[in-house]
Each structure stands twice: as C-alpha cells, then as structure tokens.
A and B are shown apart, each in its own frame.
Chain A
Amino acid sequence: MPACPLRQARNPRIRNGQRVSRTDAQARAEDVARAAYGKLIAMLASRSGDIIAAEDALADSFVAALKTWPERGIPDKPEAWLLTVAKNRRTDQARKDARLVITDEANDMADTQAIEPEEAQLDERLKLMFVCAHPAIDETIRTPLMLQTVLGLEAEQIAKAFLIKPATMAQRLVRAKKKIKSAGIPFVVPEPEAYPERMSAVLEAVYGAYAVDWLEGDGDLSHEAFFLSNILAELDPENPEALGLTALIGLIESRRDARIHNGVLVPVPEQDVDLWDRPLIDRSASILTQASLKGRPGRFQLEAAIQSVHAARSVTGKTDWRALSQLYHGLMQAHPSIGGAVSRAAVVSEDAGPAEGLKMLDLIAFDGLDSYQPFHAVRAHCLSELGRVAEAAEAYNTALMLCTDEPSQRWLEKKTADLRKKMS
C-alpha cells in the first residue's frame, strides 16, 4: 500500500523529528485531511465495504493534490476534488481488475456533488465509527482501527501507542479491514433502538483514541477525539454515558496548558488553576449534570465526576480527597481497571495517610502490575511519606525504567532528586 503523504503530514513528528515545510497547498491539503479523512474513507468504502481500496485510492489522490494544487491553485471544493480523483483512480484500478461493475461507480460519482453539507460529513464519519466498533470486530482492534480509518494515523504510530510491533499492528489492522469487507459489515448508523447495544463500544474506542496522545501529542488527535465524543453526545443525548464521555474529555482538555511546565509533568493537584480553561470546565460540568439527572451512573460519568472534583479546586482552593476516594470506590465497582486501582490507592494515601495507601496498593491483583509505571510511582510516594526512603528510591527507580514519555520521566527524576535531599 502506498504511504499516504497526508497521514505523515498530519503528524510531522514522524519525519525525523523535523517539521515538514508547509506550502499553502500542503497546509490546505493537511487541513482538508484533518477535517475530512474519515469522511472521505467512509464515502469511498461504504458501497463496497473495501477500506483498503479506499485508503489506496485516497492516498493517490492526495499525491495528485500535492502535485496539482501548487501549480493550478487550490480548487473551490477541495474535498470534492479529492473524492473525485480517488474515485477515478479506483475505477481505473477496477477496470484493470475487471471485476467491478462500472454502473455502481457511476452512482458513486453522482453523490460527489452532494457531499458539502456539514451534516452529511458527520453522518459519514459516524458510519465509519460504528463499523470500527462493530460487535463482530475484535474488541482490542477497535480503537486502532478508528485511529487509522477515521483519524488517518499510520499503523506505525498506532503500534507505538499500543506498545505492539508495527508489523503486528499493521497485520491486525489489515485483517480487521478484510473482515469488514468479506463479512459484509454495513456502513450505517444503527437504528436508535440499537444504540444501547452498540454505543458503549464506540464510546470506549473514542476514549482510547483520546488517550493515545493526550500527553505527548500536538493536540490534533485529542481535539479530533473530543470532537467525535461531542458528535456522539449529540446523536444519543439520552445516553448518560455518551454525555459522560464528552464531559470527561472536556475536563481533561481544560487542563492542557497546565499539565506540563518547563518540560516536566505537573500532577493535577499541583497545577496552576489560572492556566485551566474555565469556560470548558463550566460547559463540561453542566453536561455532566445533565448526564447524572438521567439516574443511570456509569464508568464515564464517574470518571468525569472525579475530574470535576479536581476542577473544583479552582473555586475552593483545595482538593477534596474524601470525595475523590469515594468516587474511585464507585468507579472500581462499575469498571475495575489497573489504572483506577492505582489512582484509588494514591487518593486514599492523601485522604487517610500513606500507610493506608500502601495497604490499598498491596491489595491490587491485576495482571501486569509489576510493569505498570504508575503503581511504582505511587508506591514510591507512599514509602517516601512514611520515611522509608531507601525503598522509596528503589521504587522511583523502577518507575523511571518503565516510563515511556519525557514529561513523566522528568517528573520522576525531580521526585528522586527531592528524595535524595531528604536522605542526606
């Protein structure tokens, strides 16, 4: 498969760490890609179900755009241009393959003209999201599939985020795409009756997409995922978890400017509240209230409630550890996870003291705990508070070895340095 230049352009980090020089045409093409990648894939693939062919055709049309636009100017309707070129390319290919009915293509061509309305765009993306999170698709590949087909990420980047070998990730993505085509998974937004059954997988996958680059990324992907969560909340406003997810992402996003200072991670309770996005906090909190009025609590609502307790510090000036501790207990019942368990222990250590926090850590029984960085970081913190500095230093060291992102590494180094001062 030819590499899509826009996928690379989307994320300049992967080009030897150097930003690609942006001509106007390139910049415009990038903008179109960001806004419309998933939509164009959905429109190209919806009839045949063939995502791989759609990606190939779109990659070719992006190549053509980067060649043609600087010379002849950017077309009035760049998306329609890209779509038409991709469809022509695909028709050529189909003629070569001599196995596609051309009349079908003619119908496809007709709706090229009718793609402009905003609503249609949302609809097409939604269809693709429901395809990616279809119950017939393996749960663990749904988020990667969404990252690739809806948001246009390369398999390599996705593999890095999921700590899987790039070749393995690429293979699994291809397998999923082939299944979509051969099993006949339809490109449709399900009937509202099916929302309860289908929505939670879509919400999970979108949250997964948000989590991928929340710390290190340039924010593009997070914004896209936030946007998708908003669409889902609008699609299914009676679903408190859909509202909960968009409130949760909004609350985390509101702290984007505060979470790293001079390259060092700043934990939420220590962040400068003046750097928080107040309107976004208020908006998210109000969505969460709407959700809780439905009287059906769930994982995302509880996580959003936890984040809104943190957000309340901007008004009250202090963190309500007792409330956090109770919410984490609730979360662990609704949706047990290793991250929740470790965060609960951290919160308990602030509320009831480091000895209690340590006890909570000892009770955690999840696979992969030994290689879970936050576990060692929280343990180090509790030990340090208890004056068990040698053990604390060892735990910080383990955490550092497991840490994969720079801001967290620097934060752990800072904690280790603080500990050394304490020891001497």
Chain B
Amino acid sequence: MRYTFLLYSDPAMAANMTEEDWAKSKEIYGQYIGALQEAGVFVDTDWLHPADTATTITLAGGEKQVQDGPFAETKETLGGFFAIDVENLDEALKWAEKCPHVHYGKLEIRASAMGSV
C-alpha cells in the first residue's frame, strides 16, 4: 500500500536557521532518502516554500476564485511530503519514526485511496 507522510511544522522555527543549519538538515534528509531507497520503499518526496507564498484556487462556488495564501491559516503548516510503498501501517509507522521531521514537527500518515474507491 502506498502511504504519504505529510510534514507539518511551525515555519517560525525555521526563521532563525543559519546556512550551516540548512546544510546539516539537507544532509540528514539525504540520509533518510537514501535509507528509503535502499529498502526499496521510496516513491517520491518534495519540500515546499512556506505556506504564505501559497496560491489557492477553487471553482467549488461555481466561479473561479484565486486567493493569495493557504486555504487555512494555521500555526503549523504543510512543509513537504514523502510517499512510500510498504505493506501496512506498522511498516509505515516504522519509517515515519525515522523521518528527521518528527523531531521538530508533526507527521501525518495517510494511506492512498487510489484503487479503493
């Protein structure tokens, strides 16, 4: 089953990060991606510009509405994701626990609904 890890954190925490911190962070995530690849479970990942740079669009009200900013203002925002392919939730939880993100933010695990509906 494919699982997506949605990585939420408070962007204010990243505000004071130095060049050196970023380099270190990149290295740590690189190692994690390497481990996922080596285990043959890696599907995709990305990290995103902050939520205040978001553009939100909807046609749900019948006409097109484009909004500057995220759809909801929350303290913790979506900062990136991982998609992995493993047997079950226990396997997904094991990998989620190893994700560097969990040390400073929250990680939401969602199973893919593709094929089930």
Contacts and interface: CB of A to CB of B under 8 A. Distances in A.
Interface of A: 134-136, 182-186, 188, 190
Interface centre among B3, B88, B93, B113 (most CB of A within 10 A): B88
Contacts of B89: 134, 136, 183-186
B116 A182 contact: yes
B90 A188 contact: yes
Contacts of B87: 184, 186
15 contacts: A134-B89, A135-B93, A183-B89, A183-B109, A183-B111, A184-B3, A184-B87, A184-B88, A184-B92, A185-B88, A185-B89, A186-B87, A186-B89, A186-B90, A190-B90
A186 B90 CA distance: 7
B1 interface: yes
Given A184-B1, A184-B89, A188-B90, 19 more contacts: A134-B89, A135-B93, A136-B89, A136-B93, A182-B111, A182-B113, A182-B116, A183-B89, A183-B111, A184-B3, A184-B88, A184-B92, A185-B88, A185-B89, A185-B90, A186-B88, A186-B89, A186-B90, A190-B90
Contacts of B109: 183
A135 B89 CA distance: 11
B97 to A, nearest CB: 11
Contacts of A188: 90
B94 to A, nearest CB: 10
Interface string B98-117: 00000000000101010010
Contacts of A190: 90
Nearest to A134: B89
Interface extent on B, as a size class? 10 to 19
A183 B90 CA distance: 10
Nearest to A136: B89
Nearest to A188: B90
Contacts of A184: 1, 3, 87-89, 92, 111
A185 B116 CA distance: 15
B104 to A, nearest CB: 21
Interface in B37-59: none
Interface of B: 1, 3, 87-90, 92-93, 109, 111, 113, 116
Interface centre among A135, A136, A184 (most CB of B within 10 A): A184
Interface centre among A183, A188, A190 (most CB of B within 10 A): A183
A135 B90 CA distance: 10
Nearest to A194: B90
A184 B85 CA distance: 12
Contacts of B88: 184-186
Closest 3 CB pairs between A and B?
A186-B88, A184-B88, A184-B1
Contacts of B93: 135-136
Contacts of B1: 184
B99 to A, nearest CB: 16
A157 to B, nearest CB: 29
Contacts of B111: 182-184
A183 B3 CA distance: 9
A99 B74 CA distance: 39
B114 to A, nearest CB: 12
B115 to A, nearest CB: 9
B96 to A, nearest CB: 11
A186 to B, nearest CB: 4
Nearest to B90: A186
B85 to A, nearest CB: 11
A183 B92 CA distance: 10
A183 B1 CA distance: 9
Contacts of A185: 88-90
A134 B93 CA distance: 12
Nearest to B87: A186
A188 B89 CA distance: 11
A182 B89 CA distance: 10
A308 B67 CA distance: 67
A147 B107 CA distance: 31
A382 B31 CA distance: 65
A198 to B, nearest CB: 10
B35 to A, nearest CB: 19
Contacts of B113: 182
A183 B111 CA distance: 5
A387 to B, nearest CB: 58
A395 B46 CA distance: 63
Contacts of A183: 89, 109, 111
A303 B89 CA distance: 34
A51 to B, nearest CB: 15
A274 B16 CA distance: 73
A190 B90 CA distance: 9
Nearest to B110: A183
